[in-house]
Structure 1
Amino acid sequence: MMSSFPADGEKHSAARRTGGIAAALAGVMAGLLGIGAAAPAQAASPAVTTGNVNLRAGPGTNYPAVGSVPRGASVTIYGCLSGYTWCDSSWGSARGWIAAGYLQVVQAGQPAAFSPAVAAAMGLAVVGFSQAYWNTHYVGRPWYGQWNRYYRPAPAPVPPRHYGNTKCVNGPNGGGCVNRGVTVGPYGNAHGHTRAWRN
């Protein structure tokens, strides 16, 4: 009795032919429509450290140090948090997070001050941090199994708060008022103010 199924070698050969044809057609269609099948990966950016700084296992000083990077070391930035406060970086074979205040990017072969505007102009990716990153880079580290001890979700910003009082006085030559107060910003920074006026 003869089988109506192709032999294993024929089956794989036919799959390769149809798979190759399908891939070629998809490439032609993507080219004609001006679209790509997948977006290209973001390029890494060279940078230099401005001081001795810890390469951390996460974006914050509460994460363990992966290593200590010396001032003037060449590092690679793969992306930064949306506020450009911490950047996913590598130094040699070590991967981790460096506080952005300790980085200078390299533009046209020269170090340039790192800022959100410079990072955006360079096309530096905005990246997030998750347990998947931790699991990819830190298996085998002594603190690897302690994710819950270190991970702290970013707190929601607190709207600015205003505190103060106004005192008014009236005297024989007229009166006036003084308002003294303080404004506390979303990250705890405060500034005082005084306003005075005559009645």
Structure 2
Amino acid sequence: MHLRKLFRQLLSLPKTVYFNFKVLELKYAIKLPFYIDKDIRFGKLYKDIVKLNFEPKRFSIKFGEQVVDGIPENTKGYVSMSKDSCIEFDGYAEFAYGISFYTKENAYIKIGSDFYCNKNCVIAARKSIKIGNNVLMGWNISIIDSDGGNHLVYENDVLKENKKDIILGNHVWICSCSHIMKGVTIPNDTIVAYNSCVTKSFSDENSIIAGSPAIIVKRNIKWER
């Protein structure tokens, strides 16, 4: 398994080098802080929109890391960072195979340290997504801060806001097949149960939220990685 992983990293080296030198300043790019799997597709990429708020090491941030867990991949992976957007990383982060990660113009994504997400996750920002430290995401999760595209929704003839910030606190565990919708804040030390759809913000820490739409089902809980 170790040799297979090493061989895949060698095959991914051209795409890894291209990405680092495309989006980072030279002083950071030469350290190759990003690992990009050979199967990742690129959308838009621009210089000076990625900020590293830590001293990077080789492959500190991985896109498309292989996972052997029996879960089928929906896609090989896609990364796009539009002009005038901003993406910040505070430390180590790993995005498994099938990741779709993108910003639209003037959008913002911040990823805290010790971040991990499993296969087939979507993180899509049209406005702002902030993720705290030590956040764990299962497979088939979507975090999308808008209604998508240019869709307009009216309530009592009043136009509703299409885009709203998403904030995930520190030490949050989002279980597989869950969806975090626009305008949601999830506090520290929270578990989002399997197959939940979170449509509103919560303030109680150390809780489990579950269901569609999600509600608090347990309090005074703790979890460990």
Question: Is TM > 0.5 for Structure 1 vs Structure 2?
Answer: no
TM-score (norm 1): 0.19
- Structure possessing the higher relative contact order (Cα contacts under 8 Å, 6 or more residues apart): 1
Q: Would you tell me which structure has more helix in proportion to its own residues?
A: 1
